[in-house]
Amino acid sequence: LDLLEKKSHGTNHEPNIHDIVENPQKFEELFVRHVETGLGRSMYNCDNLAAYQAASKTIRDALVLDWANTQQRQTIQDGKRVYYLSLEFLMGRAMDNALINLKCETNTRNSLRDLGFNLEDVLDQEPDAALGNGGLGRLAACFVDSLSSKNYSGWGYGLSYQYGIFKQKIVDSYQIETPDYWLKYSNPWIVERHEIQIPVDFYGYVYEEIDPNTGKTKKNWSGGERVLAVAADFPIPGFNTNNTNNLRLWNAKPTNEFDFTKFNAGDYQQSVASQQRAESITSVLYPNDNFEEGKELRLKQQYFWVAASIHDIIRRFKKTHKAAWHKLPDQIAIQLNDTHPTLAIVELQRVLIDLEGVEWDDAWDIVVKVCAYTNHTVMLEALEKWPVDLVGRLLPRHLEIIYDINYFFLQKVQKLYPEDRDLLRRVSIIEEDPKSVRMAYLAIIGSHKVNGVAELHSELIKTTIFKDFVKVFGKDKFTNVTNGITPRRWLRQANPALSALIAKKLEDPNYNYLTNLGRLKELEKFIDDKEFLKEWDAVKFENKKRLAALIKSETNVDVDPTVLFDIQVKRIHEYKRQQMNIFAVIYRYLHIKELQRQGVSIEEIKEKYYISKASIFGGKAAPGYYMAKTIIHLICKVGEVINNDDTIDNLLKVVFIPDYNVSKAEIICPGSDLSNHISTAGTEASGTSNMKFALNGGLIIGTVDGANVEIAREIGEENIFLFGNLAENVEELRHKHFVEGVHVPKTLQKVFAAIEEGQFGNPDDFKALVDGIRDHGDYYLVSDDFDLFLDAHKKVEKTFGHHGGDSDDPAHLQRWVRKSVWSVANMGFFSSDRCIDEYAEDIWNVEPSNI
């Protein structure tokens, strides 16, 4: 600690954050050094890309010192550490975030200006770190931000994919996937830790031997293929603190061990080629959201990551605590983000019993105390089940341990419920026919807590997919932590103008409210202040212009920023029901055309029927998901027709923004008037973009699902447009479809007729979409909710009024902008800081560290 004290008083000569924040000359000097020596270029041909790299390196160098100090301090303090294991971290851009969290934005902007660069252009050079699919991966990214910002000692562990989520192009109204080689120009934010190399084995066989120390027989695993896990670290800065945690991502590399059998057989080429295959393990992120493909390489990824992480965690523990294994649960909490890291449970048990000689029962007790599992979905196609054969071949010792875990567990169940024979079959980790390992069940059994991600979802898992486990373990094992988002990125970074207005009103020039988001409540004081409402609305208008510019550059469509921006951006999925949204858009268009045919003028239509709006879509479809791709195709074709209809003025526009990602979301969320969160009730576990939109002053149209329910409670039901059937009625409605057939309402019939007439291109292209509803049971209840959706939209329009963007419409201010302010004032609950505090208290039993 003395050493740290000295260091922080400047005995080291490296620049620190304060130099850069306070001393522009220092920044410029370091920047030039990075350009000239680091990048080997001259200042005369330094372009924006080189400027981005040099500026990032300058800031990173300073950040790395905070990071090293934090790690030393945490080690010396020897408190409990949290490890968040996630196969996805959807980080987005790092530089802007670092400037904000380190509070050196103004200085960097000024220094760059002096050097001849514009900060925004420089920031725009950074490719997104898109190592995730959607909500699950972005949640992990928000969590590491909060862990640092709230002074926890917490690391993330993940994989360093060479290719992140694919880039989406729209060609002829179809989605095309192209690879995202995001490391093309090397990444200035990564600290490569070449010295941290952990061998990970696969395949091979298990044998027994006598332990020379105890004289007992023990199991050993001799792996058949070895790869190295090499660490790549991302320092994670906190806001307003020098607590800087680490996100460690593993790269797969070949070992130097050479296959002499192949070599001696004269096959040098083959021998090198098979070594090279090692790298394929971390080559690509699987692009599925809420869906598991069950590919062998995916299981390899999972074990590779888990084995390296557990090894690293145990090594760190042993440095201080040697073999005091009973202390492990006081030193370490491991959070499993979904079932993807479930093998961590098995690996930890294996390390303890096979390698460290701990007795089974003691080891198992430790494992359960250390691990906890978060569930993110109740949809069956997303639940992981690995074929027993595959697990046994890839990880023979692990399969044995899984069988043992299952054996002891089923014994316990049988004792508890000796009468219920079927229960054993239902809760067994092993599913018969086809024989497979149910990862969620293993995760539940090996964890001390299981949490859902919103209240409704956490209730649902207890009454549906995990019902039997509540019977076995009792309900206290199951808990809820409602998701949240980091206000640093999703308010301050995405919406500088709104966050500044809030800072002004809260008289908080240092933006401390960003780590105390409950303070937003104070905005309620200004709810009757007309000038404030106007200012608020003016910020929204500027953000809509920014979004309109993005739309123009991405789609070449002009949208009028004065119209209502009605947005749905998220992964494309039948359960999220983008199809229902586009059907409603078609209905609106058909109705407008019908009115025109009856001689009603556009002015009259605007007066009596519809306000002007732009329907804005975005999101990726998994490459193999035909229905989702069909939905994209329909949206694009509808856009083509409507946007080229020059008889309807600005009444309606439809755009599909290609390649929706984190950095686009930062422009899209602040630019919405209304956003759609309209999943079939009971299917969306939480949703987090609902929070991003609401925090940026957008209103929500949504179903009674996921976190919408809690958002409604916090901001008041009068401020959200909820509609649709409830989760409790979904089963019954599906059954009714099955027995009586689907009743398609007249409104939706008109839409289907127009599609089938070919108004939006070849009807065959959309056949599956229409038939799925009309003839194949309408699993997602579009027919049941369609008219309710249209009604909800009528309410939206009434409330929005004819805006015009001049902020002077008193009715708009009174009805709409008031709701917007009131909503933001009550969104404090949805900060990921609150989530992390809840995890810390309820699941991890850790406290923030003393800094």
Q: Is 60 a catalytic residue?
A: no
Nearer Cβ to ligand GPK, position 377 or 783?
377
| 794: amino acid identity, one letter | K
- Does position 139 interact with ligand GPK (CB under 6 A)? The reply is yes
What minimum distance in Å lies between the beta carbon of 478 and ligand GPK? 16
Collapse the DSSP code of 109 into the 3-class scheme (helix H, G, I; strand E, B; otherwise coil) and give the result: helix
Nearer Cβ to ligand GPK, position 612 or 686?
686
What minimum distance in Å lies between the beta carbon of 810 and ligand GPK? 37
Q: Is 576 a catalytic residue?
A: yes
What minimum distance in Å lies between the beta carbon of 150 and ligand GPK? 19
Nearer Cβ to ligand GPK, position 619 or 670?
619
User: In Å, what is the CA distance from 325 to each residue of 75, 105, 317, 352, 353?
Assistant: 18, 45, 9, 8, 11
Six token digits for residue 350: 């294996």
Residues in 453-472 at the binding interface with ligand GPK, rule: CB under 6 A:
453
Which helix (DSSP H) or strand (DSSP E) does residue 220 occupy?
strand 217-222
What minimum distance in Å lies between the beta carbon of 43 and ligand GPK? 44
- Does position 620 interact with ligand GPK (CB under 6 A)? The reply is no
Nearer Cβ to ligand GPK, position 165 or 790?
165
Q: Calculate ∠ Cα 18-20-25, nearest 5°.
A: 130
- Does position 382 interact with ligand GPK (CB under 6 A)? The reply is yes
What minimum distance in Å lies between the beta carbon of 598 and ligand GPK? 43
Instruction: Name the nearest CA neighbour of 848 among 79, 57, 214.
Output: 79
Instruction: Name the nearest CA neighbour of 95 among 50, 115, 139, 125.
Output: 125
What minimum distance in Å lies between the beta carbon of 672 and ligand GPK? 18
- Does position 628 interact with ligand GPK (CB under 6 A)? The reply is no
Residues in 472-501 at the binding interface with ligand GPK, rule: CB under 6 A:
483
- Binding residue for ligand GPK, selected from 376, 577, 588, 637, defined by CB under 6 A: 376
Nearer Cβ to ligand GPK, position 51 or 382?
382
Helices (H), 492-598: 496-505, 530-555, 578-597
Closest residue to ligand GPK, judged by C-beta, is 135
Six token digits for residue 682: 């009971």
- What b/e readout covers 387-417, taking b as 16+ CB neighbours within 10 angstroms? bbebbbebbbbbbbbbeebbeebbeebeeeb
Six token digits for residue 842: 């309820």
What minimum distance in Å lies between the beta carbon of 485 and ligand GPK? 10
Q: Which of 374, 555, 688, 703 is catalytic?
A: 688
What minimum distance in Å lies between the beta carbon of 824 and ligand GPK? 20
Q: Is residue 339 a contact partner of residue 373, using CB atoms and an 8 Å limit?
A: yes
Nearer Cβ to ligand GPK, position 682 or 706?
706
Distance, CA of 369 to CA of 364 (rounded, Å): 9
Q: Is 593 a catalytic residue?
A: no
Distance, CA of 711 to CA of 835 (rounded, Å): 15
How far from the centroid of its chain's Cα atoms is residue 523's Cα? 29
User: In Å, what is the CA distance from 109 to each residue of 290, 350, 501, 508, 722?
Assistant: 40, 52, 20, 22, 43
What minimum distance in Å lies between the beta carbon of 4 and ligand GPK? 36
Residues in 106-135 at the binding interface with ligand GPK, rule: CB under 6 A:
133-135
What minimum distance in Å lies between the beta carbon of 603 and ligand GPK? 42
- Binding residue for ligand GPK, selected from 335, 686, 820, 831, defined by CB under 6 A: 686
Residues in 689-708 at the binding interface with ligand GPK, rule: CB under 6 A:
706
- Binding residue for ligand GPK, selected from 581, 688, 703, 708, defined by CB under 6 A: 688
Nearer Cβ to ligand GPK, position 396 or 484?
484
Place of tokens 């001049």: 806
Q: Which of 253, 350, 376, 573 is catalytic?
A: 376
Distance, CA of 30 to CA of 251 (rounded, Å): 30
Six token digits for residue 40: 């080997």
Q: Is residue 348 a contact partner of residue 328, using CB atoms and an 8 Å limit?
A: no
- Does position 685 interact with ligand GPK (CB under 6 A)? The reply is yes
- Does position 769 interact with ligand GPK (CB under 6 A)? The reply is no
Distance, CA of 393 to CA of 203 (rounded, Å): 6
Site stretch for ligand GPK (CB under 6 A), options 227-235, 499-507, 678-686, 821-829: 678-686
Q: Which of 457, 462, 492, 570 is catalytic?
A: 570
Q: Which of 26, 438, 576, 577 is catalytic?
A: 576
Nearer Cβ to ligand GPK, position 136 or 506?
136
Collapse the DSSP code of 529 into the 3-class scheme (helix H, G, I; strand E, B; otherwise coil) and give the result: coil
Q: Maximum distance among all alpha carbons in the chain?
A: 96
What minimum distance in Å lies between the beta carbon of 133 and ligand GPK? 6
Distance, CA of 838 to CA of 692 (rounded, Å): 20
Q: What is the CA radius of gyration of the chain?
A: 28
Q: Is 562 a catalytic residue?
A: no
Distance, CA of 206 to CA of 395 (rounded, Å): 9
User: In Å, what is the CA distance from 772 to each residue of 459, 736, 769, 778?
Assistant: 29, 16, 5, 6
Q: Is 688 a catalytic residue?
A: yes
- Does position 377 interact with ligand GPK (CB under 6 A)? The reply is yes
Six token digits for residue 231: 């660490």
Distance, CA of 738 to CA of 732 (rounded, Å): 10
- Kindly determine how many residues on this chain lie close enough to bind ligand GPK according to the rule CB under 6 A: 18
- Does position 539 interact with ligand GPK (CB under 6 A)? The reply is no
- Binding residue for ligand GPK, selected from 105, 574, 684, 778, defined by CB under 6 A: 684
Q: Calculate ∠ Cα 31-34-36, nearest 5°.
A: 105
Q: Is 376 a catalytic residue?
A: yes
Q: Which of 57, 438, 692, 737 is catalytic?
A: 692
Nearer Cβ to ligand GPK, position 59 or 454?
454
- Does position 251 interact with ligand GPK (CB under 6 A)? The reply is no
What minimum distance in Å lies between the beta carbon of 375 and ligand GPK? 8
Report the DSSP beta bridge partners of residue 154: 82
- Cβ-proximal residues to 810 (8 Å cutoff; 6+ apart), any chain: none
Q: Which of 138, 350, 385, 571 is catalytic?
A: 571
| Distance separating the N- and C-terminal Cα atoms of the chain | 11
- Binding residue for ligand GPK, selected from 188, 396, 687, 724, defined by CB under 6 A: 687
Nearer Cβ to ligand GPK, position 441 or 610?
441
Nearer Cβ to ligand GPK, position 133 or 581?
133
Six token digits for residue 55: 């500026």
- What b/e readout covers 547-583, taking b as 16+ CB neighbours within 10 angstroms? bbebbeebbebebebbbbbbbbbbbbbbbbbbbbbbb
What minimum distance in Å lies between the beta carbon of 667 and ligand GPK? 21
- Binding residue for ligand GPK, selected from 290, 309, 568, 703, defined by CB under 6 A: 290
- Does position 289 interact with ligand GPK (CB under 6 A)? The reply is yes
Nearer Cβ to ligand GPK, position 138 or 637?
138
Nearer Cβ to ligand GPK, position 115 or 247?
247
Q: Calculate ∠ Cα 444-446-451, nearest 5°.
A: 40
Positions marked active-site: 376, 570-571, 576, 688, 692
Binding-site ranges for ligand GPK (CB under 6 A): 133-136, 139, 289-290, 376-377, 382, 453, 483, 684-688, 706
